[in-house]
Structure 1
Amino acid sequence: MKLDEIGKQIEASQMTEVLQTLRFQVKRSFALLDKQGQVNQSAEFKNQYLEIKKGQVTLTSRPQQDLAGLNLDMALQSQALKQVLPSGYYPWPWSSSPIVRGVDAKNQIFIQLPEELLLNLYSEKFVQSKVAYTDFRNQVYLKLARQFINYQWVLTYFFGATPFKWEEMVAEAKVSPVRSHRTSLNAVELKEANIIDYRDLAKYQAIQNTGVDFVSLMTEELADQTRVISGLQLNQIDLAPQTDFGQTKELLPLINVMAGYFLMTTGPEMANLRATLTAARQKNQIIAQENPFAQSQFATELRQFLDELGRFAKNYRYNDFSNVMTVLKQRLDKPEETLAARSLRQNQGMSVLATSLANLDYRTTEIKLKTLSHNSLLLLQRAVVKGLDYQVIAPEADIIEIAGHLIDHGISQSQNSLLYSRLWAQKQTAKKLAQAAGVTTSSAWVVKNNHDLSQLWPLLQTKGLVLKPAGEISSNQNRVFRMPPTSGELKIALGRLQKDSKEVLIEQVVAGSNYRALIIAGKLVSLIERLPLRVVGDGRTPLADLLVRKNIKLGQIEKETLKSQGIRLTDVISRGIEVLLRYDASSQTGMQSYESLTEMDASYRPVIENLAAKLGMVEGALDLVIPNIYQVYDAQKDNQLVFLSAHCYPELAFHQKTVFGDQDIVTEIFRLWNLSH
């Protein structure tokens, strides 16, 4: 690995960490087909992220993203696209389209260097050369462009995935599959690419470039009419079939490391530049036309380059690149694991085209991040559908911004009183606030140990009871005793909960259904009934087998709940009969939800919204017990609405995904936040 002057200066100035702050944008285009291979020419949809037009779907990420931001964008777009696709039509996952002409499947990657890096390099070293800064940065980008063309063949081997050229209407049985028709140029295109001059910007612009080459230079005009390079555009990268995003997860990290490597190391000699790039394009042609199951004739060179990249990545601390190397080396050692070969192995006895059409669908994997909550992801997904600007402000704190609106944990907290929010965290304190507002609360006691329990036993022994943490934490050890428990049962339940919470709240069971009211901008937007974990009998299957079918594993509390009902695992449950596995319902205990807002009598709305206002809640949720939501609320009658607790960060998923299907709760949230446009 030989560093050039730029690489040496990056090391001397201790700027190597900036290498990992390269900025990217990705644009993916797919044909829009049905299972017969027919294109949808009429569907139209457009915003800054998603576009459907003339039989083509285009997904465009935000510009200038790091890899984490880019992966989030692609995942959000893939999820959001499901909501705008016309019924019966799907993105065709290949870069070669059946039947369709005029639809250009693309996988374009845009690369920009951090301006901070370029400015520091220039001021600390290259200003001495008397070259203008704009000329210097142009030469840095040209250096990268030359090297990406010089090593396109590496990307073609590892990510080539167009074994057939279906648009030419030639049967697969009559041709041999290749690695990548997409990256293989015809004679006219190859001749055009070979005459493009990458020595300087003026020479590049002097030749008409139709975008046939692997790299295109993105340019912009400054205020003084100087034309400068603003970034690189990589073309001719195959879409990856059988993936969520049209790319495997190894592509972008590899390009990121390659860009850093090319920036710091020596490139082709300028005197022989055209000959070098012509030879590199020819090598790419050969690899693209190879049998995908055969070892490449350039396997040794591929391995040498991978080893060189691996050393570079290790030296400059590219995190997790070793995982990428493992996958790529497997594709090199076993050609049958390359993308093109794997797609050919999954043809189910039919042609690849017929198999792909038969299996055409749109499946996406649920986004799961260590930082952002499901609430935040749900709102970001809707922002993509609406075409709204968004960014992740503080991922570890779960703070995002949509259209200039800061959102904490997926619930806008800018207007909630911080003091009130702290009071909600203690359930007993929140009950006092609700009582002051004239709302009934359940009788409750806080205990810390068995001594406290013994002191309270005379009050508790005749009551149905609920045990839960006294603070804001949630626990799967909550316990509901519908019938009065024994002292021993109560002590066991207390001991289990104290593993999660030092203080335990004991509430008296209140007759009625449990609800959660979602409050946004002070308005009630959803009222879900909280349904405990349960299974439904079919009249044939023992309970144990029903649990296996539902992938439900019983804990001690679930076993005790069944025992209290006199139900055994060997029992066959009658058709349509529900068996409760727990009596409590929370996100920790397998809760389901049923939207009840439209069924609720209108008289409850002002009561609930007024309670939220009295608690200082602009956004959040209230847990309530209501015996009969169909009955008109009468403040003179007892227990028509009982307050249990208040929450800063309710899970929006339970308001979106209900037992009778998904509902669009986010659109109403955006409307109340004035984020509709």
Structure 2
Amino acid sequence: MKFDEIGNVMQRENLIEALNNITWKVSRPRQVVTANLKLAVLPVEKKTPCLVTDKSTLTLTTRSWLNAAKTLEDINLQEDIIQKELPQNTFLWTVSNRLAKKGPKSVPAFLLRVPEGLFQALYEAEFKQTQVGYLTFRNQVYLKVLRGFVANRWFLEKIFGLSPYDFAKGEVEGKAAPKRTASNALDLAEEKQASSLNYLSIDKYLQTTDGENTDKIMPYGAYLQLDELKTKGIQALKIEALDYDLTKRGGINLLMLTTLELMAGYFLMMESVSQEDIDQGRILAQQTALESPYAKDNLKQAQLFLAELAHFAAQVPYANAQKTLDSLAYRLKSPENTPAAKFLLNLGNYTAQTFILNQSKNDRQHPQTVALDTNSYRLLAEALLAGEDYQLILNEEGIIQVKNKLVKHGLQTSSNSALMTELWQNKQVAKALVQNAGFTTLEDVEIHSKAEFEKYFPQFEGLAVVVKNARNLSDEKTMLFRLPPAKETLWNCVQAYLKAGQVPLIEAVIPGSTYRALFFQDELLSVVERLPKSVVGDGHKTLSQLITLKNLTLGASEKATLAVQGWGMDTIIPRGTEVLLRYDATVGTGCRSLEVLDELDSSYVKPLKALAQALKLHDGALDVVIPNIYQPFNPKEAKMLIFLSAHPTTPLEMHENVVFGPQNIAVKILERL
């Protein structure tokens, strides 16, 4: 193995590490099909940087430019989102062999970009003195790598080929012999076109192409005119010689990216291939595409090329190099290990098309959701569909970036200070802040011991009260008493929190409904009435059956609430009768939501905004009690608007999945970013 001048300079100047900084942009065009193997018609046409839909074809493209790990993360995220957005009973056709001729080709396109810093360092270190312009030098380096890929396209077909039949031409089992990769097989006209392509310079390439490239590996630039490759430079290499991986959602696996990276580095540093190598490589690529998936032809040749890559990798500090080499060696150990052969062996009693359809159905029915909170996921989904820029920043913290703005948990921006967020978590401190601004709060007290309970019990004796967590969201231990509880009953509720190492809060209750007001960038987006968990009788089922039917669970609070109402589990509930499982309605204990923003008297908007401003809450939610939302707000009436608590974020689902039909709050947030 011998490095050429570029390889020697990279070794001398310690530039080899830059090969770990290759970046990607991957497009995946796929047909959308029905359960009876017909092309579906997509209801809406879209054309955004990441999503294009056209009749029966859907194309997803990752954000540019990402490393291999981030590219796969983006592919998985896009796949999750689009699977949920597809029309009912339609599925993504997950392989490269199209089901029908209609629409564009259906092979993944890998855009591989060499780090710009590497070009600059090479040019300054050695090649500037040749008097060749930087743009010309850069184009020549890309073309050198491209020639290596064209000469060895057969290797990619051998390793990744997975399209045994050309369904669009009517090929099926029993009527046509399976191929390794029908998507890469060329007809006579395509072979002729490929043989005429010349990659010695960008001028020669432009002279020998009309925009089509049946080599399936070509120079790429996001330009309106092809000849701008010469004046503005090649931006990346476009590789369309790999088939989708049927076993991976999104069709792309890490082995594809790391193999292409390893080969790109090899072709960059090694001596350039000759035109004879390219011509022979094209012949071998056609033979490989057409060969039986079980063929042993050229297996030794592929193993020898892999040995060269391994020798090269031993001198280059590639991440994942050994894992990549081991995976490639496994596929070349036996023909049965290659993707096309494994596909045929796994068919069993299914036809190829039915097998693929079943895989497509499974992908849709069992989404492999990216580890991200629901709010962030919802906002990312709307950003993708709307064509807005986005990226994942810290998944585990729920921090994403949309429209160049950081958002936490799909709602919170940098507008809210960390200090205020910390204060809101202490319900009594938050109440003190709004009291100073002239708003009404409910009487409450924190309990830290039995002695404190004895001290403060007379203050709440004879009152309707609620016991809840003083520091965090309400949970299953929360208990609301519509009638004044006995002292022992109240202590048992308080004691449950103390035993759990939490601080309980006893709070007075007054007549009225509880509402959650959602703010984003100081705008009131939604006001929902929180409705307690309940079941409604049909005159036939017992209470136990109704609870089971709604998949609800009963804790101590639910059982106590039912006992107070006098309902037994075997009681048949009369038709239309609502049975409350809890009196409180909080996120932590489960509740239903009713959107009331349009019903809320407009006079409440101003005081709600003033309440948020008093807390310096620009993004987040306020819990309030309003006795009558239809009665105009009167600032002289203290109990017309009562503050309960503030939250830096809230589940968007609470404001979207509302009674009487869903609404899209994520879109409203996206519009205001």
- What is the DSSP-based 3-state SS (H/G/I as helix, E as strand, rest coil) of the residue aligned with 1:174? coil
Q: Distance in 1 between matches of 2:257 and 2:603?
A: 60
Q: 2:666 aligns to what? A: 666
Counterpart amino acid of residue 446 in structure 1: E
Q: Is the counterpart of residue 232 in structure 1 residue 234 in structure 2? A: no
**Residues 1:159 and 1:652: Cα distance change in structure 2 (over 3 Å):** farther
Tell me if structure 1 keeps the 8 A contact 2:84–2:364.
Answer: no
| 1:194-243 Cα distance to aligned partner (Å, 9 max, x none) | 44333443443342262101310125799997463221001143345576
Q: Is the counterpart of residue 479 in structure 1 residue 478 in structure 2? A: yes
Counterpart amino acid of residue 165 in structure 2: F
Q: Distance in 2 between matches of 1:106 and 1:142?
A: 22
In the TM superposition, 1:330-345 aligns within 5 A as 335=336, 338=339, 341-342=342-343, 345=346
Tell me if structure 2 keeps the 8 A contact 1:469–1:497.
Answer: no
RMSD of Structure 2 on Structure 1 (CA): 4.8
| 1:589-608 Cα distance to aligned partner (Å, 9 max, x none) | 55554433344444443442
In the TM superposition, 1:306-325 aligns within 5 A as 312=313, 316=317, 318=319, 322=323
Q: 2:624 aligns to what? A: 624
* Count of residues in Structure 1 that have an aligned counterpart in Structure 2: 662
- What is the DSSP-based 3-state SS (H/G/I as helix, E as strand, rest coil) of the residue aligned with 1:411? coil
- What is the DSSP-based 3-state SS (H/G/I as helix, E as strand, rest coil) of the residue aligned with 2:617? coil
Q: Distance in 1 between matches of 2:590 and 2:527?
A: 18
Q: Which moved more, 1:486-495 or 1:575-584?
A: 575-584
Q: Distance in 2 between matches of 1:670 and 1:176?
A: 52
**Residues 1:224 and 1:55: Cα distance change in structure 2 (over 3 Å):** closer
Q: 2:256 aligns to what? A: 254
Q: Distance in 2 between matches of 1:287 and 1:552?
A: 58
**Residues 1:570 and 1:190: Cα distance change in structure 2 (over 3 Å):** farther
**Residues 1:611 and 1:204: Cα distance change in structure 2 (over 3 Å):** same
Tell me if structure 2 keeps the 8 A contact 1:268–1:276.
Answer: no
In the TM superposition, 1:239-638 aligns within 5 A as 239-240=244-245, 244-245=249-250, 247-248=251-252, 250-251=253-254, 254-264=256-266, 270=272, 273-292=274-293, 294=294, 297=297, 312=313, 316=317, 318=319, 322=323, 329=330, 335=336, 338=339, 341-342=342-343, 345=346, 349=350, 352=353, 356=357, 363=364, 368-369=369-370, 373-391=373-391, 399-411=399-411, 413-416=413-416, 420-459=420-459, 465-471=465-471, 473-474=472-473, 476=475, 478-482=477-481, 483-484=485-486, 486=489, 489-490=492-493, 492-498=495-501, 503-531=503-531, 543=544, 588-590=588-590, 592-629=592-629, 633=633
**Residues 1:281 and 1:107: Cα distance change in structure 2 (over 3 Å):** same
Q: Distance in 2 between matches of 1:583 and 1:14?
A: 70
Q: Distance in 1 between matches of 2:173 and 2:325?
A: 32
Tell me if structure 1 keeps the 8 A contact 2:68–2:257.
Answer: no
Tell me if structure 2 keeps the 8 A contact 1:401–1:407.
Answer: yes
Q: Which moved more, 1:632-641 or 1:603-612?
A: 632-641
Q: Distance in 2 between matches of 1:544 and 1:8?
A: 77
| 1:39-76 Cα distance to aligned partner (Å, 9 max, x none) | 64996333333333354433333332334553454455
Q: Distance in 1 between matches of 2:480 and 2:174?
A: 69
Q: Distance in 1 between matches of 2:399 and 2:614?
A: 26
1:217 pairs with 204, 216, 219, which one?
A: 219
Q: Distance in 1 between matches of 2:400 and 2:175?
A: 54
Q: Distance in 2 between matches of 1:203 and 1:284?
A: 23
- What is the DSSP-based 3-state SS (H/G/I as helix, E as strand, rest coil) of the residue aligned with 1:262? helix
Q: Distance in 2 between matches of 1:573 and 1:75?
A: 46
**Residues 1:510 and 1:349: Cα distance change in structure 2 (over 3 Å):** farther
**Gap runs ≥5 in structure 2:** none
- What is the DSSP-based 3-state SS (H/G/I as helix, E as strand, rest coil) of the residue aligned with 2:233? strand
Q: CA deviation at 1:114?
A: 1.5
**Residues 1:186 and 1:259: Cα distance change in structure 2 (over 3 Å):** same
In the TM superposition, 1:197-216 aligns within 5 A as 197-208=198-209, 210-216=212-218
**Residues 1:511 and 1:15: Cα distance change in structure 2 (over 3 Å):** farther
Q: 1:108 aligns to what? A: 109
Q: Distance in 2 between matches of 1:342 and 1:532?
A: 52
Tell me if structure 1 keeps the 8 A contact 2:147–2:199.
Answer: yes
Q: Distance in 2 between matches of 1:156 and 1:571?
A: 68
Q: Which moved more, 1:183-192 or 1:36-45?
A: 36-45
Q: Which moved more, 1:156-165 or 1:354-363?
A: 354-363
Q: 2:655 aligns to what? A: 655
**Gap runs ≥5 in structure 1:** none
Q: Distance in 2 between matches of 1:307 and 1:660?
A: 65
Q: Distance in 2 between matches of 1:102 and 1:158?
A: 27
- What is the DSSP-based 3-state SS (H/G/I as helix, E as strand, rest coil) of the residue aligned with 2:58? strand
Q: Distance in 1 between matches of 2:376 and 2:98?
A: 36
Q: 2:65 aligns to what? A: 64
Tell me if structure 2 keeps the 8 A contact 1:389–1:403.
Answer: yes
In the TM superposition, 1:91-170 aligns within 5 A as 91-101=92-102, 103-124=104-125, 126-127=127-128, 132-170=133-171
Give the structure-1-normalised TM-score: 0.79
- What is the DSSP-based 3-state SS (H/G/I as helix, E as strand, rest coil) of the residue aligned with 2:215? coil
Q: Distance in 2 between matches of 1:510 and 1:187?
A: 84
Tell me if structure 1 keeps the 8 A contact 2:22–2:112.
Answer: yes
* Residue identity (%): 31
- What is the DSSP-based 3-state SS (H/G/I as helix, E as strand, rest coil) of the residue aligned with 2:667? helix
Counterpart amino acid of residue 212 in structure 1: T
Q: 1:178 aligns to what? A: 179
Q: 1:25 aligns to what? A: 25
**Residues 1:442 and 1:42: Cα distance change in structure 2 (over 3 Å):** closer
| 1:324-357 Cα distance to aligned partner (Å, 9 max, x none) | 9669948977948836754884687556269739
Q: Distance in 2 between matches of 1:375 and 1:334?
A: 46
**Residues 1:506 and 1:37: Cα distance change in structure 2 (over 3 Å):** same
**Residues 1:284 and 1:658: Cα distance change in structure 2 (over 3 Å):** farther
**Residues 1:243 and 1:265: Cα distance change in structure 2 (over 3 Å):** closer
- What is the DSSP-based 3-state SS (H/G/I as helix, E as strand, rest coil) of the residue aligned with 2:446? strand
Q: Distance in 2 between matches of 1:290 and 1:23?
A: 33
- What is the DSSP-based 3-state SS (H/G/I as helix, E as strand, rest coil) of the residue aligned with 2:180? coil
Q: CA deviation at 1:179?
A: 3.3
Give the structure-2-normalised TM-score: 0.79
Counterpart amino acid of residue 317 in structure 2: Y
**Residues 1:63 and 1:170: Cα distance change in structure 2 (over 3 Å):** same
| 1:133-154 Cα distance to aligned partner (Å, 9 max, x none) | 4344334323432333344344
